[in-house]
Amino acid sequence: MATSYEYPVRNAGHLSDSEILAEAHELVEAFIEFTRIERINNDILDIRALPASKASIENAFRLVIATEPRPLVRRRLATAGLSLARFQLNVGVRMSITPAPQAPAPSSESGANSLFERFDAALANMAQDTRRLQTIFSDAEAIAERRFEPLNMRPPFREDGTYTWYGHH
């Protein structure tokens, strides 16, 4: 499944700041396209299904959010980025949280217990990951807000052309 969505990553050590930002935008777009195609909804998936490493996608979202001047777009990016929490380590087969037709019962009690334990662990990890991502993306939004809020600085010259030494305060 993941091989059809592989995202080529270039060596970041040789990229300019604008190229890194462009790569981040492309990686965010690749992830959003991946979630549209896969229709992850409320499912929990293994991180091996991602088009790139989870840390790379997370950092791409942080960078794109922190450099986005439009508040609504930042909020939507943060919401899309939260779906990264649905990807957890060692989940194996996709776990669907939506009701499904009754499946045959596992052949042994221990098989059912291990399945439930794996599901509970994935849900707990997803909840913890969601809280962590909310904090990270909220911090990135705060950076953007500080960066793009209108400055309260006045020009050092008055309308008549004279200079005010305190004009930048």
Taking only the tens place, the pLDDT of each residue in 65-102 is 999 989 999 999 999 999 999 999 988 888 887 665 66
Q: Has residue 163 been placed in a domain? A: no
Please give the pLDDT value at position 158. Answer: 66
Please give the pLDDT value at position 169. Answer: 45
Please give the pLDDT value at position 115. Answer: 74
Q: Has residue 164 been placed in a domain? A: no
Q: Has residue 161 been placed in a domain? A: no
Q: Has residue 28 been placed in a domain? A: yes
Q: Has residue 160 been placed in a domain? A: no
Q: Has residue 85 been placed in a domain? A: yes
Q: Has residue 114 been placed in a domain? A: yes
Containing structural domain, residue 118: 2-96+108-148
d(CA 18, CA 15): 8
Domain count, the chain: 1
The pTM for the full model equals 0.70
Q: Has residue 89 been placed in a domain? A: yes
